[in-house]
Each structure stands twice: as structure tokens, then as C-alpha cells.
Amino acid sequence: MLQAVSNALRIAEVRTKILFTIGMLFIYRLIAHIPVPHTNAAGIGKVLEGNQLLGILNLFSGGALQNFSIAAMGVYPYITASIIVQLLQPLIPALEEWSKEGEQGRNKINRLQYYITVPLALLQAYGQTVSLARATSSGGQGLFESGFNFSLFSSHDFLPTITILLSMAAGTMILVWMGELIDERGIGNGLSMIIFGGIVARLFATITQFFTTGSASVSVIGLVAFSIILLLTLFAIVVVQEGVRRIPVQYMRRMKGNKVYGGQNTHIPLKVNMAGMIPLIFAQSILLFPGVVASYFCNTDPSAKGIGNTIACGIYNTFSPQARNGNVVYSLLLFLMVVGFTYFYTVVLFAQQNLPQSLQNNGGFIPGIRPGKATEVYLGKVLNRITLAGALFLGVIAVLPYLTAGLTGIANVGLSATALLIVVGVAVDTMRQLESQLLMRNYEGYITK
């Protein structure tokens, strides 16, 4: 591997791409420390420890939310816009037509995603700021400068409020633009690399904090068990993420003039985990939302009474993993929702590819299966079987932090399901891109056969 790294750095084009990607990630980390105007980030760290939803957003932003910088939302609004557009393609004929128009259609879809990202970023900036303001004020430290109240309906505070919202939305769009630059001039998927850089930066800080403050209360056996579980999890993620079911395909020979086309044998690679990390994001966001809202209305004082307070505390204890008796219920619901969303999103992605129709139009067929409807039914059955393995795997990964905490006594050290999937997935994808660059120039790659 060291020889492969040396070979990659020896090639001027590949070296330029690697240095450009590293430079973009360095600029991103600088942006993550530029504070939002009229705000004070002191005290946000304690709030994030008790709020799982904001903790996820802080993870995606690489700790920028804890600093309350202009990059506090990361690229999450753009990811949300992309998911919305993907889900709407089968429902809106115009979007479905764009998806079949090649490069021009993809440019139209990308432009639409940018347009949707801006209002989503403004909306998320408002909700995120209000949530943090309430949490920090209840903790004794305010989020804003003295004399300023975050409000869109006050003539005195309107312009500063707009400044905060525009600053946060602009930070998101800058990160999206940097991701596009990495796609064009760097190595790897740009947005994935931005998220990857933030998670890795945050992970090092979290591990350092654990060994300086939290490791004293953990036994040696717990640390060994945690390390073994972590290594096995990383190995399993690589195996499942790279696992595919190859469906053999043959193409009929066709004569055009004096030339013969087709006749070759190939395969369709159906991935075991076609949905990636999207089901985890869906399930965690939806499942955490009721508990976060209920926490604002739940008064844990024993003297507090009222049916409203009882309902709010009941919802909070059910949907919040850190609350009393909430861990088991939350873990079970999270597992079931991840499995369900995995099937749902896989079906959506598979339907958009329209593989049976594409095979039939190009003269391809699966041996022993008639083209058309029979091929669609066959591929659907195969997809359901392999998706079951991928869905159960994602469900286990989703609840793994809670299982690990119960077995080893180690919790909140960055063993996030989404973080592990992103880090491993981006690392493997980047290695494969470098591999292709080396093989094009007859160098031995990272992955030996």
C-alpha cells in the first residue's frame, strides 16, 4: 500500500487532485470556525450532549454546530433536497423525463435541487437557531448578544435575524459549491468528502475527550470488548457495502451493415445495501423529532401535574434514548424503522433505473427468463431477498451503539451508525478512484487481486 501511495504521488495529475481535495477540506475546517454574527456559542456543547437530533446535525457539520459557525448546518439541507427530488421523480412526469435525458436532464435536476436547498436551508436555520436559543437560555447562558432577541416580527431585531439566517444558508451553499469543485478537480465524491472530513475531525476530538475524562470509569475488559466490536463492525460494513448479487445477462447478436453488434455476456450487479445511509438518516430524524418536541413541554419536577405534562413526559420517555426506560423502546422502534425505510428507498431507486425495459430495448435478456414482465418479476424477487440481508444489517448497525453501551459500559464515543457507514463508504470509494487512476497508467493499485 505504501508503494501504491508513492506511485500515486509520483503522477502529477493524481498528485494535483489529491492536494486540491486536501486543500478544500482544510478550507472547510476553517469555515467551520467562523461564527454566525450576533451569537455566542458558549454553553452549546452541554445542550448537544442531551439532544440526539442536534447531536446528529453536529456530527454531519463536523462540530460546526457546537461552534455555531456559518457552516453549522453542513450540507444536510442539500442532502434533504436531493432525497426529496429522488422520491418525487416517479410521481412527477417532468422529473421522470429529465432523468432520462442524459447529461442535460441531470443538469436540470441539479439546478432544481439547488433551488430547493435555499428555502430548506433558511427553514432549518430558523428552527435550529430557535431550538438552540431555548436550550441555552434554560441552561443560564444565552445564545445571542445582550439586547438582541431573535425574531422576524420585531422592527428592531428583524435585520440581525435575517443576517443570521442568510449567513447560515450561505455557509451551506458554500460547502455545496466546494463539494462540486472536488467532483470536478479532486478525488472522490465532493459532498461525501465534506461530510467525511467533518466526521473524522469530530471523531478525533471525541476519542481524545473520552480518554482524558471518561476512560477512568471503564474497565480494561470493557475497552478490549469495545475495540473488538468496533473492528468487527468495520469489517462487516466493508463486506456488506461491497457485497453484490451478479445477475447474468446475454445480448443477442445484431447485424448492422457489415458489422455485428452484441453477443457478449455480462452481468447486472445488484448491491446488498443499495440504499446506503439514507434509511438511517430518515429513521433517526423522524424517530427523534417527537421526543425533542416533547422535551420542551415536559416538566420533570415531581410536583408538576396536569394531563398535558403527563403526555409530554410519556412521549419524551418513549422516543428519547437517554430518558428513563426510553432506550429499549427507542432501539426497537429504530431497528424496525430502518428496516422499513431500507425496503422503501431501495424500491424507489430500483424503479428509477428501469432495468427490465432497458435490457429489452438493448436486446439483453437473463438466461432462462423471458424479457419484459417476467424479467421484472424475477429481478424484484432477487432484490427482495438480498435487501432483507442489507436491511437487517442496517438495523443492527443502527442500534449497535446502544448494544455496545450495555455490553461494555462505553457510550457516546462517536460510535455512530451513520458516521461509520460514511467513513468506511467514502474511504473505500476514494481508494477505488485512486485505484482506477493508477491502473490506467499501468501501476499496481491499492487492492491486489
> SS3 for 180?
helix
Partnered with residue 246 across adjacent β-strands are 269
Q: What is the pLDDT of residue 166?
A: 94
Rounded mean pLDDT, 64-80? 85
Q: What is the pLDDT of residue 175?
A: 92
Neighbours of 222 (CB within 10 A): 16
Q: What is the pLDDT of residue 177?
A: 93
pLDDT at 340 over 80: yes
Task: Tally the residues of the chain.
Answer: 449
Rounded mean pLDDT, 262-279? 80
Q: Which of the residue ranges 57-61, 168-172, 181-185, 229-233 would you say has the lowest mean pLDDT? A: 57-61
Q: How far apart are CA 48 and CA 65, in angstroms?
A: 9
Neighbours of 328 (CB within 10 A): 12
Q: Which of the residue ranges 101-115, 194-208, 235-249 would you say has the lowest mean pLDDT? A: 194-208
Q: How far apart are CA 258 and CA 231, in angstroms?
A: 57
Q: At what angle do helices 417-440 and 190-209 cross, to 10 degrees?
A: 130
Partnered with residue 69 across adjacent β-strands are 35
CATH 2.170.120.12 correct for 1-215? no
- In a 13 Å sphere around the CA of 149, the CA atoms on its Cβ side amount to 6
Rounded mean pLDDT, 101-122? 88
Rounded mean pLDDT, 260-285? 77
Q: What is the pLDDT of residue 449?
A: 45
Q: What is the pLDDT of residue 212?
A: 61
Could you tell me where in the chain the CATH 1.10.3370.10 domains are found? 1-215, 219-409
Rounded mean pLDDT, 228-252? 84
Q: What is the pLDDT of residue 40?
A: 78
pLDDT at 215 over 70: no
CATH topology assigned to domain 219-409: Preprotein translocase SecY subunit (1.10.3370)
Q: Determine what percent of the chain is predicted with pLDDT higher than 90.
A: 10
Highest mean pLDDT range out of 50-59, 237-246, 300-309?
237-246
Q: What is the pLDDT of residue 325?
A: 47
pLDDT in tens, 5-53: 777 778 888 888 889 999 999 999 899 888 888 887 776 766 676 566 6
Q: How far apart are CA 222 and CA 410, in angstroms?
A: 7
Q: How far apart are CA 145 and CA 201, in angstroms?
A: 29
Rounded mean pLDDT, 256-273? 73
Highest mean pLDDT range out of 159-173, 231-245, 349-363?
159-173
pLDDT at 444 over 80: no
Query: Which amino acid belongs to residue 356?
Result: P
pLDDT at 94 over 50: yes
pLDDT at 170 over 90: yes
pLDDT at 326 over 50: no
Q: What is the pLDDT of residue 248?
A: 86
Rounded mean pLDDT, 208-232? 70
Q: How far apart are CA 200 and CA 111, in angstroms?
A: 30
Q: What is the pLDDT of residue 124?
A: 86
Question: Which residues lie below 8 Å from residue 301, measured CB to CB, with a gap of 6+?
Answer: none
The overall pTM is greater than 0.85: no
Q: How confident is the model at residue 178 (pLDDT cuts 50, 70, 90)?
A: very high
Sheet bearing 244-251, strands edge to edge: 265-271, 244-251, 364-365
Partnered with residue 248 across adjacent β-strands are 267
> SS3 for 15?
helix
- State the chain's mean pLDDT as an integer: 78
Higher pLDDT, 257 or 86: 86
Rounded mean pLDDT, 378-385? 88
Q: What is the pLDDT of residue 261?
A: 58
pLDDT at 139 over 60: no
C-alpha cell at 248: 447474468
Higher pLDDT, 6 or 398: 398
Q: What is the pLDDT of residue 413?
A: 47
Q: How confident is the model at residue 226 (pLDDT cuts 50, 70, 90)?
A: confident
Neighbours of 101 (CB within 10 A): 12
Rounded to 5 degrees, φ, ψ at 250 are -120, 145
Task: For residue 144, give the DSSP letter.
Answer: B
